Structure 1
Amino acid sequence: MQGGSCHRDIITIEDVSFSYEQKQVISGLNVSVKERDFVGLIGSNGAGKTTLLKMIVGLLKPDQGKISLFGEPVSRFKHWERIGYVPQKNAFNPLFPATVREVVLSGLYGRSKLFSRVTKAEASKAEDAMLAMSIEDLADKRIGQLSGGQQQRVFLAKALINNPALLILDEPTVGIDAETQENFFHMIRHMHQRHNITFLMVSHDMEWVRSYLGQEPIQMNGKLRFYVKHSHELENCVENDLTHSLKDLRKSMDRRASFVF
């Protein structure tokens, strides 16, 4: 998945294989994702989509092969704040005893500082992220009290709070209505075209994938299909801070239609 030669590798997957018990899910996968690529990952149930994402973020280890992030092997990678990860909604425990604000703030802490003392600057970042996702009025509610669409916005705010360089989305529009999906895709197109973010998204929405990423996959491995759009010429964005930019986008979207999950 080569972009321009001047663009660095964000994700490098070299000869990776993975099996559950005796069933091989991924075999000999080689993928290179360049800076500011948007990669759509498509495949039937059991094709290994979520398995691959979990290996990329270090939650699973490949049986063989190597995965690197920003040129560093996943096993040694420390800068998790550079990555926003939104897992499948059904991976979340609705009884998790945290408020929306706490969940969003946890996106700042990486894996070692969960629920540390919050500074004023951190609290301000959380407010910005919640405003960008239209969930500021839900800040003190328990995450388990929210609708599926509201929860997705919370997890997006958590993933975006650090202005990530890599955003990984695992079927982010499952369980939300058509209008909300349209607004979501409008938002991530804006993010891809105007900000220095690389995307890897698992999706079942073939219509959107083909309309934005192209009609044919650039690469296939078993049942996995990789659709890729390069966006290496960064469009000008007056506001370079992602959450501020998204707040402006939200205002324009609110004018044309309600942005309700």
Structure 2
Amino acid sequence: MSGIPAQADSCHREIVALEQVSYAFGSQQVIENLSFTARERDFVGLIGANGAGKTTLLRMIVGLLKPDRGQIRLFGTPAKSFKDWHLIGYVPQRKQFNPLFPATVREVVLSGLYGRGKLLKRLSKADALRAEDAMDTLHIGELADKRIGALSGGQQQRVFLARALINNPKLLILDEPMVGIDAETQQNFFHLLRHMHQRHNMTFLMVSHDMEMVRSYLGQEPKQVSGKLSFYVRHSHDLEDCVETDLLHTLRKEGT
């Protein structure tokens, strides 16, 4: 026995582990022999120039790409056999979204409830209430029936975040969430992420070009540099906070 309380130990468990991961597009080596571990309640800021492999790495972690070599583990399970995708919330780059896609805000948020292989799942009344809760939490409830393409960049990001949070994930992955939104909205959005990190049992992995914003919260020096990628890390937890919570319920209670 280590003598460490179970709650404290659970706040340091492995969430994402990369072991000698490599990936290439044809003859172009994008990521080579990358090893890195993100633990529970870490906030990881991933910085790198265009072409450094940031988005590629995120897409491998969420299972959209497979590494050429090496292994990725999620919550201690090899990614190739990982099934609990509801534990992961993913906010992709807005440029990957077609603004002409004919969906309302409510429909986009509800789509977060569809697990892999469950595209025909029937939504229950509880699911609908969950979506309403997510939208109210992110202050977009009044936009529920608007087309997603008619919203501002900041409003769209809140919709995508609500979609990512609807399953109460333990890992939130964000790919350039600040791109295309004004400075004030960026600050408000990042404030929300910091609040979630400080008060809730979640791990964050965020790609950003904004060095100043990342360093203001995660520190001036990266914890690790691998090739063209720099990993800035901040761990945040108190023992009394290291418990299972319903994120949306507590965020609304806190008035975030």
TM-score in terms of structure 2 length: 0.91
Other structure's SS at 1:107 match: helix
2:223 equivalent in structure 1: 218
**Distance in structure 1 (CA, Å) of the matches to 2:250 and 2:161:** 15
Q: 2:16 aligns with which of 2, 7, 11?
A: 11
How do 1:77-96 and structure 2 match up within 5 A?
A: 77-96=82-101
2:172 aligned with 1:175: no
**Deviation of residue 17 (structure 1)?**
0.5
Q: Is the 8 A contact 1:40 1:203 kept in 2?
A: yes
Other structure's SS at 2:113 match: coil
2:156 aligned with 1:156: no
* Runs of 4+ that moved beyond 4 A: 234-237
Deviations 1:101-155 (A, max 9, x none): 1110111121222363221111111001001111111111222222222211110
1:51 equivalent in structure 2: 56
**Distance in structure 1 (CA, Å) of the matches to 2:253 and 2:9:** 33
Q: Is the 8 A contact 1:193 1:234 kept in 2?
A: no
Aligned length, in residue pairs: 248
Q: Is the 8 A contact 1:194 1:235 kept in 2?
A: no
Q: Which amino acid aligns with 1:203?
A: S
1:101 equivalent in structure 2: 106
Deviations 1:20-44 (A, max 9, x none): 1101011100001111111000000
1:123 equivalent in structure 2: 128
1:27 equivalent in structure 2: 32
Q: Is the 8 A contact 2:21 2:32 kept in 1?
A: yes
Q: Which amino acid aligns with 1:32?
A: T
**Distance in structure 1 (CA, Å) of the matches to 2:237 and 2:252:** 24
2:11 aligned with 1:38: no
**Deviation of residue 167 (structure 1)?**
0.2
Which residues of structure 1 form unaligned runs of 5+? Answer: 253-261
1:257 equivalent in structure 2: none
**Distance in structure 2 (CA, Å) of the matches to 1:233 and 1:8:** 15
**Distance in structure 1 (CA, Å) of the matches to 2:34 and 2:195:** 30
* Cα RMSD after superposing both structures: 2.0
1:67 equivalent in structure 2: 72
Identical aligned residues as a percent: 70
